[in-house]
Amino acid sequence: MSKRSRRDPKKATPDRSVPSSRAAAPRPPAATPGKPAPSVESPRTGAREKSPRVVIIAVAAAVLGSLLTAVVMSGSDVSGPGPSGAASATKTGGACPKGMTRVPAGDYLMGVMDGGAADEGPQRRVSVGSFCLDVDEVTVEGFAACVKAGKCSDDHLSEWSADGENFAPNPGCNWNIEGKQRHPINCVDSRDAQAYCGFIGGGRLPTEAEWEWAARGGDEGRTYPWGHAPPRDQLCWRGDGDSEGKGKRTTTCEVGTHAAGDGRFGQHDLGGNLWEWTSSRYCPYSGEPCTDEGLVSRGASLVNDTDFGLRVTRRSRELPTHRLFYLGFRCAHD
């Protein structure tokens, strides 16, 4: 079935040392009220030296600066290279949960002006706050932990459904398939996805605007998650360059096995493998009244075989009850 598809800041450590001398310094003249204390010559260098009062003030300022630096650094952690070696952006909201990296805040023109599908325009300016995003699509083993904890359901995880009422077994579903523990979980509806994201500590599905901002590489405005080069072997798909040959792929790939396709903030598989649920309703960018109950999915999947479908602006509509072998998710966190 086809589907349309960090920079470690240099930690400035204030110099806490204060020039000292064992030689006795001349007693400084008394200060006149309201005027700065006069300086004296240094017995070591002959240079003009500040009075002890000024030195004490300087020491206090240095110590205070050191404390402020420590406070700022503890509240604004800066990541080193992410899992793929991509430098993560400066964190502005604290450390992310394990398995996530922080995407910086920003604003951008969402969608495309021309050359895209009808639902990718008109462009509109949106603002996105800083948020954390999963490095990988949620895996089968990850979802299994949620099921074991009693927070997620394993009902229908091996079945296909277009309406949430009628189900049919599908060999493309990864649940309970030997050797697929590190493959992304698929055949999950939006409720399953939301339940898992809540299970991992107050997480959630990303909004459509957040997803596109991360895939664009923030202000880099990438065409594809990895940059502007056409898709070839950077992803898991049915197009030219795939390891199984054009048009031959029938299953997902293990997460994180296509490093050349990594995004700017360290995410794997933002393009290909699985389409990903977002929390946003499928509404027009024009701002017209929206009554559509569908949700937006992003990222394209293993069934895509054209460059057009892999662009970061590409949207797809899913009913919240859809269970598809080419649809999965990753979580976000504030």
Q: pLDDT for 275-318, tens place per residue?
A: 999 999 999 999 899 999 999 999 999 999 999 999 999 999 99
| Cα–Cα dist 290/304, whole Å | 28
> Which superfamily is assigned to 75-334 in CATH?
paralog of FGE (formylglycine-generating enzyme) (3.90.1580.10)
| Cα–Cα dist 14/140, whole Å | 49
Q: Which of these, 224, 235, 262, lies nearest to 82 by C-alpha position?
A: 262
pLDDT of residue 242: 97
| Cα–Cα dist 171/173, whole Å | 5
pLDDT of residue 94: 85
**Structural contact between residues 4 and 316, judged by C-beta atoms closer than 8 angstroms:** yes
Q: Which of these, 199, 218, 59, lies nearest to 126 by C-alpha position?
A: 218
Q: Which of these, 293, 283, 256, lies nearest to 85 by C-alpha position?
A: 256
Measured from the Cβ of residue 239, the count of other Cβ atoms closer than 10 Å reads: 21
pLDDT of residue 321: 97
Enter the tokens of residue 321. 């009850």
β-bridge pairing 327-328 and 275-281: parallel
User: Can you list the residues of the chain whose pLDDT is less than 50?
Assistant: 1-91
Measured from the Cβ of residue 17, the count of other Cβ atoms closer than 10 Å reads: 8
User: Where along the chain do its domains lie?
Assistant: 75-334
pLDDT of residue 92: 54
pLDDT of residue 31: 41
| Cα–Cα dist 331/167, whole Å | 26
